[in-house]
Structure 1
């Protein structure tokens, strides 16, 4: 029973964490009526919670493996009581910065669930499970929509205090229903980091999540105030539109995870980054509210799908180090939400336009698309090399002139020659002398006519022993029809001494 409720419980935990995380940005139009904040500092106030919410993701992902999700969620909610209360009582810009910094704990809890929940499900469901958990992002929509509505009735300070009750309730729920028997790992953090930091896929996934989740967070904290100041919308209307953006991104996250369980995840990422590139270009032309809405919804859609896909890829490639890798990748995603609002605000203050910032975002998304394509083909090459190295048949590859360019480990086992000894030589280094020139002439004529040949041939090992092999030679041609290389595969079919006697 306890194990079955972990997915809904931890998803609800994430909802609450994200509700608290965007507390200031959701209520900023109300807060600025009581606290004087210079226009150029507004972006700092909304971006500050993202910093700690990003940096803490790595240790929280690690400690979720060490102590279990129950303890980490419970402690996080208790710690959040202090900055929430502090913000409700503050009357200064400095107070908002101090309290906002520690609100980051609410965003950091994301890495707890993505580390814990895959332990309860088979690998083929990890994409969907992490996608469902990621729907906890909806917490940002809840705050963005509900907080302004409540604040119009009871004021922003009293609205902030209501979050204290919510945090206490969920601390108790985790104490009662959290899984005390969750499987734990106590490998030292430094050892885990050493085990993954040289893997380029870690940094690729970090960059991809920096863009997809970063764009989600950036628009979440950027839109409420932007829509009010740039389009002169009412505060509640701006909150509802921002909530719509969040809902779209959140609902499509499990869709992205589910699709990644069914199809090639890297193809889906290519589509996500192509969509983000197009959407950012639309926004760069400073359209009216109609086209701006279309561009924003496209960003929400592509970011949501991309977020779901990435957290399918992490446990797939880093099964044993999922905790620390989830923490690093999700930390980079959080930081991705920190820089865009500051960049947009700085560019706007210098140029009076947001266009350059959106165009820069489109170029970063385009570069990410190129990198995903490159990663896909590197994966294909890696897979081909694994097959090449692990097959039991000997394989030698020559160029069009018949010089050996590569051999596999099975070749070395069967012939006794290492790769260094044969690369650059002609395959006749293996010749036993039993076959006539006419035999080889007919063989190459056949290859020239039909592109392949198969037959039995006697060759000689490095130690001088002869052996009979079943050899297949295939000509590999380019798109123009010219032979680029020849690939020979062979197996040792030398008869045993008794079989030889009988023959």
Structure 2
């Protein structure tokens, strides 16, 4: 029963964590009425919670494996009580920076669930499960929508204090309903980092999540104030529009994970970054509120599906190091939400517009699209290499001149020849001399005529021992019909041949 509760419990934990994480950006229009914040400092105030919320994802992901999600969520919610109370009493820019920094714990809990929950489900459901959990980032929408409404009634300071009750409630729920017997993994953190940091896929996924989740966070903290200052919307209206952006991205996250379970994840990412590129270009031209809405919603669609797909891929490629890999990738996503608002603020202060910033986003998305395409074809190539290396049949590949270009490990096992012994050589170095010239002439005539030949042939191992092969030679052609190489596959059938000639005939009495 407790195990079945983990997905809903941990998803709600994430909702609460993200609600706390974005308190400042949700209430910044109200806070500015009481605390003077210079325009050039505004982006820093709203982005600061993202810093600790990103960096802490690595240790929280690791310790979720060591101690279990129950302990990490419980401790995180207790620790959040202090910065939330401090924020409610804030009266200066410094107070906002200090409280905001430690509110980042709310965003850091993301890596706890994506590390813990896959332990309860088979691999083919990891995308959907992590997508459901990731939908907990709806907490940012709840805060963005509800906090301004409550603040108009009781003030922003009292609104912040309401979150203290929520944190205490969920600390208690985790104490009583968290899984005390979750499987633990206690590999030292340095060993886990060493085992993953050289893997290029880790950094590709980090870049992709930097864009998908980073843009989600960036738009969450950037939109409320931008819509008020640039389009002169009411604060509650701006909050509701931002909540719509968040809700759409959040709803599509589990769908992205589900699709990644059913389809090729890298193909889905290609579509994601294609949409990103187009949407960012639209936003770069400083459109009307209508076009700006369309562009923002396209970003939300891409962010939601992309986030779901990426956290299908991470545990798939890093099953044994899921905690640390999830932490690193999700950290980069969080940092992706820190830099864009500051960058946009700086660009606006210099140029008076945001166009350059959005054009940069479109170029990074386009570069990511190219990388995903490269990964897709690299994976297909690696699959072919794995089949080539793992098959039990000997394989040799020659060019059209008959020179050997490559062989597989089974070739070495069957013939005794190492790869370095035969590369550039003609397969005739293995001739036994048993077959006549006419045999080889007829064989190549059939290959030229039909593109394939198969049959028995005697050859020599490196040690001079004769053995009988069942050999298949195929001509490989390009799109124009020209032969570009020959592939030979063979098995050793000497033992079958010997059995046939040694079985004594049954004689009559």
Shift of 1:386: 0.8
Alignment of 1:331-410 (within 5 A): 331-410=331-410
Task: State the match for 2:222 in structure 1.
Answer: 222
Give me the TM-score of the superposition, normalised by structure 2: 0.98
- How far apart, in 2, do the equivalents of 1:483 and 1:328 lie? 47
Structure 1 CA distance for aligned equivalents of residues 448 and 359 of structure 2: 54
Following superposition of structure 1 onto structure 2, how do residues 129-168 of structure 1 map, counting pairs within 5 Å? 129-168=129-168
| 1:72 equivalent in alignment to 2:66 | no
User: What is the aligned partner in structure 2 of residue 481 from structure 1?
Assistant: 481
Q: Which residue of 2 is the match for residue 305 of structure 1?
A: 305
TM-fit CA distance, 1:496: 5.0
- Secondary structure in 1 aligned to 2:472? strand
- What corresponds to 2:113 in structure 1? 113
> 2:59 aligns to what SS in structure 1?
helix
State the shift of 1:501 in Å. Answer: 4.0
How far 1:499 sits from its partner (Å)? 2.5
CA deviation map 1:219-268 (0-9, x unaligned): 00000000000000000000000000000000000000000110111111
Tell me the equivalent position of 1:61: 61
- In structure 2, the partner of 1:268 is 268
Extract unaligned runs of 5+ from structure 2: 505-509
- For residues 382-401 of structure 1, give each alpha carbon's deviation from its aligned partner in whole angstroms, at most 9, with x where no partner exists: 11111111101000001121
Please, what TM-score do these two structures have when normalized by structure 1?
A: 0.99
Aligned residue number for residue 213 of structure 1: 213
Task: Give me the CA root mean square deviation.
Answer: 1.0
User: Matches of 1:203 and 1:86 in 2, distance apart?
Assistant: 36
Partner Cα separation in structure 1 for residue 354 and residue 458 of structure 2 = 74
1:451 Cα shift? 1.3
What is the deviation of 1:439? Answer: 1.5
* Aligned twin of 2:233: 233
1:428-475 C-alpha deviation (Å, 9 max, x unpaired): 011111112222122112111221111111111111111111111111
Counterpart of 2:411 in structure 1 is 411
- The CA distance in 1 between the partners of 2:78 and 2:13, in whole Å, is 13
Deviation track 1:271-311 (CA, whole Å, cap 9, x = no partner) reads 11111111101101111000100000010011100000111
Deviations 1:153-198 (A, max 9, x none): 1111111111111111111111111111111111111111111111
| Matched residue, 2:492 | 492
Q: CA deviation at 1:502?
A: 5.4
- 1:320 is matched with 320
Quote how far apart the aligned CAs of 1:317 are.
Answer: 1.0
Cα distance in 1 for residues equivalent to 2:212 and 2:253: 11
Structure-2 separation of matches of 1:33 and 1:377: 54
Moved over 6 A (4+): none
Residues 20 and 498 of structure 1: CA distance in aligned 2, closer, same or farther (over 3 Å): closer
Size of the aligned set, in residue pairs, is 503
SS at match of 1:464: coil
Whole-Å separation in 1 of the counterparts to 2:394 and 2:197: 35
Deviations along 1:302-358, one digit per CA (max 9) or x if unpaired, are 110000011111111111111111111100100010111111111111101101100
Residues of 2 paired with 1:498 and 1:268: CA distance?
Answer: 54
Which residue does the alignment assign to 2:284? 284
Deviation track 1:73-132 (CA, whole Å, cap 9, x = no partner) reads: 011011111111111111111110010000000000000000111111111111111000
